[in-house]
Amino acid sequence: MIDDSTKNKILDTAQIVDVVSEFVQLRRRGVNYVGLCPFHNERTPSFNVNPARGIFKCFGCGKSGDSARFLMEHEQMTFPEALRWLANKYGIQIEEKQLSDEERQAQSVRESLSIVNQFARDWFQQQLLETDMGKSVGLAYFRQRGFRDDIIEKFQLGYSPNSSDALARAALEKGFKSDYLVGAGVCYRTDNGELKDRFRGRVLFPIHSLSGKVIGFSGRVLSSQAQVAKYVNTPQTDLFTKSEELYGIWLAKAAIVKNDRCFLVEGNTDVISMHQAGVENVVASCGTSLTQGQIRKIHRFTNNITLIYDGDSAGIHASLRGIDMLLEEGMTIKVVLLPEGEDPDSYARSHNASEFQQYIKDNEVDFIRFKTNLLLEDAGNDPLKRTELIKDIVKSICVIPDSVSRSENISVCSQMLDVDEKMLVDYVNRMRKALKEERQKNLERERQQSTVVSSRVETPSDEAAPVEPQKEEEPSPSVVEIDPLLLQDSATRQKEMLNKKELLLMKEMVRHGEEELELMTLEDGSTQAFTVAECIYYDLQNDELSFSSPLLQSMMEELVQHVHEEGFSASRFFRNHSNPAVSRLAIDLLTDKYELSDTFSESSDIHEVVPHLLNDYKLVLVEDEIKQLKSKMKEASVNDNPEYMQELMQEYNDLLAIRRELAKQLGNRVIA
């Protein structure tokens, strides 16, 4: 694990223009550099690199970040991999944190299993390409499938001879321990303790991690023995979990990002044939039903997925539940049925990339429409089946997180099913409410069963999983849901204004959070310098205020915790935050998306700007409280409640006094 001081040294040393220039042609424009965005197709440059702040931002597709984030997006690296790439480029020696004995042991085992897999892959390839049996059986099979030699090499395909322990003997002769051969899953022990090859008599398809390391294998038998499984995969190991992996993701990730779409197919050979035809943004689910882990892996690179099914596929119904999981993840899903008798493998072998892409374009349909048509065919005129059909479709629609998308799908289904749209809306909302109540019950059950009270989560290290921001609780849906963005009433406008004021305060914390702002005298007579972040945080605390946005509140609290660490930089901290929502917002705040009025500029003194922003923020809150009090006073007047009215009048006068004081401090300066 890379320690914090080394991490900061790497990020401070990296020059964003140098890094990006290795992948994008840049030209100078004023103090910045521009070029064609590598993340989406464009003719006019909208990709901007700011060397002073060390960040990039595309004003076309919205991608943004620093040097490490650029490598993570463009090369699909993890954060530690990006740091090591930068360290190598700038000649920085990486100092790793000292691991515990248990961590060292686990790391040693994983490294040993990785070496075993690498040896097995090389041995399988050598058997395929350099032995008579491999050429006549394994290589002949691949060529009969139409695979070119360059594709066979690209996917590192191999062959294991039909011998019970050929690989085991070769590995033991090279000094590999039998426990690691079993641990990697390439061998197994019989009941009497003999070491046997798992993949004997099969052609091999290595399965790679995102970074390209071999983590497992899928072996296809070449004999026609009925009692032998057609495919055998590596069992669960410390490196390989079948339900988490996607075949071909290592070779597909760059194309998925470039095309902003992932094709999902059923088999390994489908992936290989499509690559050979020139369609590279394709993966397969390693012979399993789609899982949350696989979905999250795809979602790292795109929000759009197209499922390609055989024309006569019998597995479509079984896969519908997995597709609902994609909907719940918020992904956009299309479905393509190939011509009858065709699968992606055969169709790709008989068509080039442009023909394949054109067929997809002409025949893909939205998933909900596809599912509705599919179930309508099954239901026919049976009223009971049609009722179950409606329930099934509603189950899919109700998991879609975006209200606009839900509304569009309800409208489509209403027309296709000839069902009243209001009835479907009511059904969807009741089901969403029931699902929400069920989730709340489960959460409450988990809390009651838990005996450990967790403290506030600290900032994760570079190797840790990202900490998700606290989400605002979704209100229970009414009978007819209306997107709140369409209701621009005073309450909505007030909330938007409040959010803008909070963002302006957060902008100062991201840009100047660690800078000293005020020297305060403590109770013991000593003095202490308070940073921008602390002054904002404690000023709000003194007035018992907090940000209305949980994400912004979390960012402020996290900043205050770390602001006094040696060498700390708020902008660097948030740019490289493990939570993508935080890092994206930080980049926006660093690229002048949220600006002050003409009264202030970037060069304005923060000693003047920060107090002004705080007072302006409080003024918005006071105005809101005054509006609420007026409503209460009107109600008290109608109900003839003089005592309560007196209390409200006193509170109202107090708020007016506060408003006058804030307005006086603000003067004529107003924040835009």
Instruction: Note the pLDDT tens digit of each residue in 209-265.
Output: 877 889 999 999 987 665 778 889 999 998 998 888 999 998 998 888 788 899 999
Of 229, 207, 230, 209, the residue nearest 218 (C-alpha): 207
Tell me: pLDDT of 7 over 70: yes
What is the fold of 4-89?
DNA Primase; Chain A (3.90.580)
Tell me: pLDDT of 487 over 60: no
Please list the alpha-helical segments (H only) found in 194-260: 249-259
Tell me: pLDDT of 438 over 90: no
Confidence of residue 312 (pLDDT cuts 50, 70, 90): low
Confidence of residue 379 (pLDDT cuts 50, 70, 90): confident
In this prediction, residue 435 carries a pLDDT of: 82
In this prediction, residue 590 carries a pLDDT of: 83
Highest mean pLDDT among 9-13, 28-32, 134-138, 437-441: 134-138
Averaged over 556-580, what is the pLDDT? Answer: 84
Burial of 46 (0-12, 13-18, 19+ CB in 10 A): middle
pLDDT tens, residue by residue, 497-527:
788 888 999 999 999 888 887 765 555 555 5
In this prediction, residue 448 carries a pLDDT of: 66
Tell me: pLDDT of 485 over 50: no
Within 8 A by CB and 6+ apart from 356, the residues are: 274, 277, 278, 279, 347, 348
pLDDT tens, residue by residue, 164-193:
999 999 999 999 999 999 999 999 999 999
The architecture (CATH level 2) of 101-240 comes to Alpha-Beta Complex (3.90)
Confidence of residue 456 (pLDDT cuts 50, 70, 90): very low
Q: Are 223 and 201 in contact (CB under 8 A)?
A: yes
Residue 478's Cβ-side half-sphere holds a number of Cα atoms within 13 Å equal to 5
Inter-axis angle of helices 79-89 and 4-13, nearest 10: 60
3-class state of residue 207 by DSSP: strand
Residues in the chain: 672
Written as six digits, the tokens of 253 are 């990730």
Residue 60's Cβ-side half-sphere holds a number of Cα atoms within 13 Å equal to 15
In this prediction, residue 315 carries a pLDDT of: 60
Confidence of residue 313 (pLDDT cuts 50, 70, 90): low
Burial of 82 (0-12, 13-18, 19+ CB in 10 A): buried
Written as six digits, the tokens of 157 are 């395909």
Cα–Cα distance for residue pair 113/106, rounded to 1 Å: 11
Confidence of residue 466 (pLDDT cuts 50, 70, 90): very low
Give the residue extent of every domain in the chain: 4-89, 101-240, 249-423, 490-621
Tell me: pLDDT of 491 over 80: no
In this prediction, residue 147 carries a pLDDT of: 94
Within 8 A by CB and 6+ apart from 84, the residues are: 2, 94
C-alpha distances (whole Å) from 519 to each of 523, 604, 612 are 13, 20, 18
Cα–Cα distance for residue pair 71/20, rounded to 1 Å: 8
Percentage of the chain lying above the pLDDT 70 cut: 84
Q: Are 268 and 285 in contact (CB under 8 A)?
A: no
In this prediction, residue 479 carries a pLDDT of: 33
Please list the alpha-helical segments (H only) found in 90-173: 101-130, 132-133, 140-144, 149-154, 166-173
- Bridge partners of residue 27, in order along the sequence: 34
H/E stretch holding 624 reads: helix 606-638
Tell me: pLDDT of 284 over 80: yes
Confidence of residue 4 (pLDDT cuts 50, 70, 90): confident
In this prediction, residue 528 carries a pLDDT of: 64
In this prediction, residue 126 carries a pLDDT of: 97
Within 10 A of 102 (CB to CB), how many other CB atoms are there? Answer: 8
Q: Please, what's the largest Cα pairwise distance for the chain?
A: 102
pLDDT tens, residue by residue, 394-421:
888 988 887 888 888 888 888 888 888 8
Within 8 A by CB and 6+ apart from 99, the residues are: 1, 107
Averaged over 36-64, what is the pLDDT? Answer: 83
Confidence of residue 62 (pLDDT cuts 50, 70, 90): confident
Q: Given the structure tokens 């002949």, which residue do they identify?
A: 140
Of 549, 557, 536, 576, the residue nearest 455 (C-alpha): 557
Cα–Cα distance for residue pair 97/79, rounded to 1 Å: 16
Confidence of residue 443 (pLDDT cuts 50, 70, 90): low
Tell me: pLDDT of 269 over 80: yes
In this prediction, residue 562 carries a pLDDT of: 84
Q: Are 671 and 597 in contact (CB under 8 A)?
A: yes
Which amino acid is residue 1, in one-letter code?
M
CA-based R_g, the chain, Å: 30
Q: Are 203 and 158 in contact (CB under 8 A)?
A: yes
H/E stretch holding 364 reads: none
In this prediction, residue 629 carries a pLDDT of: 82
C-alpha distances (whole Å) from 325 to each of 198, 289, 331, 395 are 33, 11, 9, 11
Distance between alpha carbon 16 and the CA centroid of its chain, in Å?
24
Written as six digits, the tokens of 117 are 């897999």
C-alpha distances (whole Å) from 123 to each of 235, 239, 405, 423, 504 are 19, 19, 51, 62, 60
Of 388, 311, 320, 389, the residue nearest 347 (C-alpha): 311
Q: Are 94 and 125 in contact (CB under 8 A)?
A: no
- DSSP-based helix, strand, coil % in the chain, nearest 5: 55, 10, 35
pLDDT tens, residue by residue, 600-639:
555 567 788 888 888 888 888 888 888 888 878 877 776 6
Within 10 A of 166 (CB to CB), how many other CB atoms are there? Answer: 15
Of 620, 402, 615, 401, the residue nearest 499 (C-alpha): 620
Lowest mean pLDDT among 351-365, 467-481, 556-570, 571-585: 467-481
Q: Given the structure tokens 């403290």, which residue do they identify?
A: 455
Averaged over 282-303, what is the pLDDT? Answer: 82
Of 70, 61, 57, 59, the residue nearest 14 (C-alpha): 70
Cα–Cα distance for residue pair 150/148, rounded to 1 Å: 5
The architecture (CATH level 2) of 249-423 comes to 3-Layer(aba) Sandwich (3.40)
- Average pLDDT value for the chain: 81
Of 534, 584, 541, the residue nearest 558 (C-alpha): 534
Cα–Cα distance for residue pair 547/411, rounded to 1 Å: 37
b/e string for 539-549 if b means 16 or more Cβ within 10 A? bbeeeeeebeb
Cα–Cα distance for residue pair 24/88, rounded to 1 Å: 20
Beta-sheet pairing, 527-531 with 516-521:
antiparallel
Lowest mean pLDDT among 315-324, 439-448, 515-524: 515-524
Compute φ and ψ for 391, nearest 5 degrees: -60, -40
